[in-house]
Amino acid sequence: MARTGAGRAARERDGPGRRHTAGRAAARRTGRSHRGGTTPPRPPPAPTRAGALYSAHGNTEARATFYFASPLLDLDRRDAARQQAILTEQFTGNGWESDRLLREMRHASDFYFDSVGQVRMDSWTRGRVALVGDAAYSPSSLSGMGTGLALVGAYVLAGELAAARGGHRVAFARYEEEMREYAAGCVKMGDGVAGFMVPGSRFMAGFLNRYYKIMPYLPGKNLMTSLARKTAENISLRDYGSLVKR
């Protein structure tokens, strides 16, 4: 396991209806932006490890993220010291700016460590209960799609409930119908990004490292953004306001 993308690992593990965890860990820390510019993600060379540094909050902060492939780890979620020790083990001497970032990680007030997982379910509703957002269709933290997807899901569910005047059976069926393809696209995006972030082969890691360096100068530099936008906008939202009789 663990050399493939988060979603692929998830498919191998469980059947529908369970929360999947892919055995990939992420840690994030925030510091002041030290470069004064947007830094594209630059994974270090090991094919099952990736580090990235990006700017946030109007270029006032630099955030570091580490991903590594591993079997699912049995860790106490409150034991930050142990989690940091694991990251240190994984990334020390891994090149790029890893060692400095690991040192700074110990002082981060917003350190975060978790496995990367996706949620795939055959049905998001049962009886009078409906799931929305990550609980129903988490595309993983790697996808960049989770927040928008959750908001769209909430909008569609609320809209269908209103349009059906509270008739939950009709509304739930319409919610699933409207959202199924859109959510699948976002989850697939999570798979694809996982493959890019933690490629799994030295060849691909080497290729991506070179690619990221020249990406800002290439005509197709916005390809990733365009793909993300296409996935995020792949749904025609109904204007429920006009459907609902007042």
Ligand X SMILES: Cc1cc2nc3c(=O)[nH]c(=O)nc-3n(C[C@H](O)[C@H](O)[C@H](O)COP(=O)(O)OP(=O)(O)OC[C@H]3O[C@@H](n4cnc5c(N)ncnc54)[C@H](O)[C@@H]3O)c2cc1C
Which positions lie near ligand X, rule CB under 6 A? 26, 28, 112, 133-135, 138, 141, 144-148, 150
Q: DSSP code of 112?
A: E
Q: How far is the CB of 165 from ligand X (least distance, A)?
A: 26
Whichever of 169 and 233 has its CB closer to ligand X, that residue is 233
Q: How far is the CB of 154 from ligand X (least distance, A)?
A: 8
Q: Please list, in sequence order, all residues whose beta carbon lies within 8 angstroms of the beta carbon of residue 79, skipping any fewer than 6 positions away.
A: none
Q: How far is the CB of 210 from ligand X (least distance, A)?
A: 25
Whichever of 70 and 170 has its CB closer to ligand X, that residue is 70
Q: How far is the CB of 130 from ligand X (least distance, A)?
A: 12
Residue 42 CA to residue 192 CA, distance in Å, equals 17
Q: Which neighbouring-strand residues pair with 113?
A: 27
Q: DSSP code of 141?
A: T
Whichever of 39 and 45 has its CB closer to ligand X, that residue is 39
Residue 44 CA to residue 35 CA, distance in Å, equals 18
Whichever of 148 and 200 has its CB closer to ligand X, that residue is 148
Residue 41 CA to residue 26 CA, distance in Å, equals 14
